[in-house]
Amino acid sequence: MTTLTQFDVLAIRREFPILQQEVNGKPLAFLDSGASSQKPRQVIDCLEDYYKRYNANVHRGVYKLSEEATFAYERARGKVARFIGAASQREVIFTRNTTEALNLVAYSWGGANLQPGDRILLTIMEHHSNIVPWQQLAQRTGAKLDYLGIDGEGRLRLDELDQKLSERTKLVALTHQSNVLGTINPVRAIADRAHAVGAVVVVDGAQSVPHMPVDVQALGCDFLAFSGHKMCAPTGIGVLWGRRALLEAMPPFLGGGSMIKVVELEQSTYADLPARFEAGTPAIGEAIALGAACDYLSEIGMEAIHGHEVELLAYALERLSAVEGLTLFGPRSVEQRGAAVSFTLDGVHPHDVAAILDGENVAVRAGHHCTQPLHRQLDVPATTRASFYIYNTHEDVDRLAAGLEKARRMFA
């Protein structure tokens, strides 16, 4: 693995095979890591090595291959636990993605703990995967939903907390970093307030865990959900971290093989953590490769990654602010946000913006980014989003700005 004494973006780029290709003589400016990141050679090699050398089911076979696969799978769990500062690797549950992790909490914790009239506090900036499971839970249990609003710069209205948080609030679910506004939310302060009324705090870390140091103890939450595919790992693997006492008290989410102790005809007893929440054959190679992704990111250093992104973000905000007719959403201060930048361009539909950028081999995302309530609040049907990661450069930002100028001229 590359040893990086300082943040060397060109060395990092060389680790990503996909970034080596050109389309129509233009290199790829990949600005859609918020949707899914690219994968370094180290992670691709790790996945390939599993399938070529020791592919076997885990926790079952007594033969050597299965033991090797089991060892690697559980070692990956330990790497994830260390990556987020978990007290124990038993607190790390492998899921398919953030969405499944949030649904697990909603079904299992929510089903066991919510009563009619209880309240669930969300924020208006949530991704649909941190809204819909709670709506479904509210429909099943008779609980009610409340939403914390945002100010003109897309920051949470903390002044609403006193009014929206009460002893009826049993759960607060919020994103650590908005996938549209880039806003980094003050999770610790909100978690402390939520705990003071006895609520459990669920954090959607899909956009924070890949981009900055995240320590669950410092964050002060009770559950944290995130996806491997946004942090250099393959698709199909995600994580739910939860406090051990809470997880141990929760009923299983899915039933089946691997999650049981004894199965009788009428009933079963369940395995201890984490197996209790991992029914069926898991995504073995993907979990092992997530461990490799944690190693890869840790070696570069999450502080360094965040620093690189802040620098790119500052440059992007400066360049994009100079584009005539462009409206930027989210906080102006780089201290309050991460490097996902959403905007509209007067007179050009966001999908047309994305299509013109694609012609320049600049990949961005356009649409509502799975945040319809937020877009309704922003009073726009859609935005274009550029999201940055470890392998992006100032040149990528320049090409984005040039593509936007081109779109503006074409539609003028």
- Residues in contact with ligand PLP by the rule CB under 6 A: 35, 97-99, 127, 129-130, 175, 179, 204, 206-207, 227
Among 207, 231, 387, residue whose Cα is nearest residue 309: 387
Least distance to ligand PLP, CB of residue 123, Å: 11
Helix (H) or strand (E) holding 52: helix 41-53
Distance in angstroms (rounded) separating the CA atoms of residues 40 and 45: 9
CA of residue 76 relative to chain centroid, distance: 18
- Through-space distance between the first and last CA atoms of the chain, rounded to whole angstroms: 49
Least distance to ligand PLP, CB of residue 277, Å: 16
**Token duo for residue 185:** 């939310």
CA of residue 304 relative to chain centroid, distance: 19
The residue among 38 and 70 lying less far from ligand PLP, judged by its C-beta, is 38
The residue among 238 and 291 lying less far from ligand PLP, judged by its C-beta, is 238
**411 close to 352: Cβ distance less than 8 angstroms:** yes
Residue 370 bears catalytic tag: yes
To the nearest 10 degrees (0 to 180), the angle between helices 64-84 and 284-300 is 40
CA atoms within 13 A on the CB side of 165: 25
Least distance to ligand PLP, CB of residue 262, Å: 33
Residue 266 dihedral angles phi and psi, to the nearest 5°: -100, -20
**Token duo for residue 137:** 């839970």
Distance in angstroms (rounded) separating the CA atoms of residues 251 and 247: 8
Distance in angstroms (rounded) separating the CA atoms of residues 406 and 401: 9
The residue among 229 and 408 lying less far from ligand PLP, judged by its C-beta, is 229
CA of residue 204 relative to chain centroid, distance: 7
Residues 6+ apart with CB under 8 A from 53: none
What is the DSSP-derived secondary structure letter of residue 12? H
The residue among 54 and 147 lying less far from ligand PLP, judged by its C-beta, is 147
Residue 84 dihedral angles phi and psi, to the nearest 5°: -110, 10
The residue among 70 and 177 lying less far from ligand PLP, judged by its C-beta, is 177
The residue among 97 and 361 lying less far from ligand PLP, judged by its C-beta, is 97
| Strand ranges inside 195-339, DSSP E | 200-204, 223-227, 238-242, 260-263, 268-270, 326-328
**209 close to 77: Cβ distance less than 8 angstroms:** no
CA–CA–CA angle 101, 275, 174 (5° rounding): 20
The residue among 274 and 338 lying less far from ligand PLP, judged by its C-beta, is 338
Least distance to ligand PLP, CB of residue 183, Å: 11
Helix (H) or strand (E) holding 402: helix 394-411
**Token duo for residue 393:** 């450069």
The residue among 254 and 322 lying less far from ligand PLP, judged by its C-beta, is 254
Query: Which positions are catalytic?
Result: 370
